[in-house]
Amino acid sequence: MSSGRVGDWQATKEQKRIRKSEYPSINWLRHRINSQAAIIDEMILEGGFTIENIADRLNAVESKTYSITHRIRRIKDHIAHLKDGVGDSRGKSHGMKPHDLKIKKNAQGHLGFEL
């Protein structure tokens, strides 16, 4: 997990527009490419995915399969870190600044960044 920075909202807005990373090993929010955090970031940026869809993708790309309940908790913790840090049940973001991004959920439960 990475600490949030002042420019994260603008970087997310720009990423939505150009869809490329400045660095080959980390995404625009400084999460390692192909890590759980980066996969969650990308799926929220793309939009059109529910928490359950993201959980399924994490299980599909990782060698170890976890229960959907476990994955959903992990995704909610990461969303808390992306937003304001409140609600991180694993305490992983303790001491790390949240990204202060706004995430919306539409009527179908699809997540997306509010830009």
For 22-39, how does the pLDDT look when each residue is reduced to its tens digit (9 = 90+)?
Answer: 788 999 999 999 999 999
pLDDT of residue 3: 75
Residue 3 lies in a domain: no
pLDDT of residue 2: 75
- Using CA atoms, how far residue 43 sits from 6, 47, 81, 87, 92, in Å, is 22, 6, 15, 20, 21
- Using CA atoms, how far residue 109 sits from 19, 49, 51, 54, 74, in Å, is 23, 8, 8, 12, 17
Residue 60 lies in a domain: yes
pLDDT of residue 89: 63
Stretches in the chain below the pLDDT threshold 50? none
pLDDT of residue 4: 82
Burial class, 72, CB count within 10 angstroms (exposed 0-12 / middle 13-18 / buried 19+): middle
Both structure tokens of 109: 């439960």
**What is the rounded distance in angstroms from the CA atom of residue 53 to the CA atom of residue 72?**
10
Q: How many domains does the chain have?
A: 1
Residue 2 lies in a domain: no
Q: Please give the residue range of the domain that contains residue 23.
A: 8-113
